[in-house]
């Protein structure tokens, strides 16, 4: 799991997430239910062998998000503010983590994905044994794992960036994060809500 995932796992729950968003309607179309931001988190048994534990936390500012020991926090705060940071919701999943970050636009989410990958997956601090993988059916998904240690997937949906990570020591620690990524994608892709552009 990346450094931020470890920090998130260690952080105390601080806030409660909004459970639902309303629906909208106009005179020519019927109302359509909108997903809440929490729909983009792992739910139930989606991350094989792990379930969400405790309440999701909400970070409403970049400084809140990076306050748990994030490397280069000042630079990241500046970058996130520039990208139109809205909020992050995160939840622990036993030995894993799931988070969703809402930004100003789809290009901002893609840029933040690239920055996160550079810092945690492929940058100078990443172990030499890091391997990359994709998630079939989720075009924006980029995964990396440290064999017999942890696995992570970052992917975008519109203006949101999501991470699913685990800290398992198994032969295939990628399987739980791949399963969870698929489940989130199926539930949220193309649906109206906070990530839609």
* Arithmetic mean of pLDDT over the chain: 83
Give the percent of the chain with pLDDT over 90: 59
C-beta of residue 133 within 8 angstroms of C-beta of residue 154: no
Question: How confident is residue 157, by pLDDT bands cut at 50, 70 and 90?
Answer: very high
Question: How confident is residue 171, by pLDDT bands cut at 50, 70 and 90?
Answer: low
The arithmetic mean of pLDDT across residues 69-84, rounded, is 92
Cα separation, 106 vs 31, in Å, equals: 25
Q: Which residue in the block uniquely carries the two structure tokens 């696995």?
A: 151
Q: What is the pLDDT of residue 13?
A: 29
91-146 pLDDT, tens digit per residue, is 999 888 999 999 999 999 999 999 999 888 877 767 777 889 999 999 999 999 88
Q: Which residue in the block uniquely carries the two structure tokens 């993988």?
A: 133
On the question of pLDDT at 7 being above 70, the answer is no
C-beta of residue 151 within 8 angstroms of C-beta of residue 49: no
The arithmetic mean of pLDDT across residues 57-83, rounded, is 93
Q: What share of the chain is helix, strand, coil (3-state, %, to 5)?
A: 30, 25, 45
**CA angle at residue 104 from 101 to 110, to 5 degrees?**
65
Cα separation, 45 vs 97, in Å, equals: 13
Q: Which residue in the block uniquely carries the two structure tokens 């792990």?
A: 50
Q: How far is CA 91 from the centre of its chain?
A: 10
Cα separation, 138 vs 141, in Å, equals: 6
Q: Residue 40 carries which DSSP code?
A: G
Q: Which residue in the block uniquely carries the two structure tokens 């032969």?
A: 171
Q: What is the pLDDT of residue 170?
A: 66
The CATH architecture one would assign to domain 36-188 is: 3-Layer(aba) Sandwich (3.40)
Which residues partner with 53 through β-bridges? 92
User: Where along the chain do its domains lie?
Assistant: 36-188
Note the helical H segments in 22-171.
Answer: 62-65, 73-82, 106-116
17-49 pLDDT, tens digit per residue, is 333 333 333 333 334 689 999 999 999 989 988
Q: What is the pLDDT of residue 32?
A: 63
Q: What is the pLDDT of residue 5?
A: 56
Question: How confident is residue 159, by pLDDT bands cut at 50, 70 and 90?
Answer: very high
Q: What is the pLDDT of residue 113?
A: 97
């Amino acid at each position: 799991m990346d450094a931020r995932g470890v920090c998130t796992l260690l952080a105390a729950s601080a806030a409660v997430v909004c459970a639902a968003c309303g629906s909208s309607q106009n005179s020519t179309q019927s109302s359509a239910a909108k997903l809440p931001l929490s729909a983009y988190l792992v739910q139930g048994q989606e991350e094989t062998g792990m379930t969400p534990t405790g309440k999701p936390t909400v970070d409403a500012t970049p400084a809140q998000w990076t306050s748990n020991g994030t490397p280069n926090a000042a630079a990241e705060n500046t970058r996130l503010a520039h990208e139109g940071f809205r909020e992050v919701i995160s939840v622990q999943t036993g030995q894993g983590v799931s988070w969703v970050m809402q930004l100003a636009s789809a290009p901002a989410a893609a840029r933040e994905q690239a920055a996160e990958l550079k810092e945690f997956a492929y940058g100078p601090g990443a172990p030499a044994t890091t391997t990359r993988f994709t998630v079939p059916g989720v075009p924006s998904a980029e995964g990396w794992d440290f064999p017999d240690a942890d696995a992570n997937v970052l992917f975008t949906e519109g203006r949101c960036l999501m991470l699913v990570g685990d800290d398992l020591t198994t032969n295939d620690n990628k399987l739980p994060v791949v399963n969870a990524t698929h489940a989130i994608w199926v539930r949220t892709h193309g649906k109206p809500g906070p990530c839609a552009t």
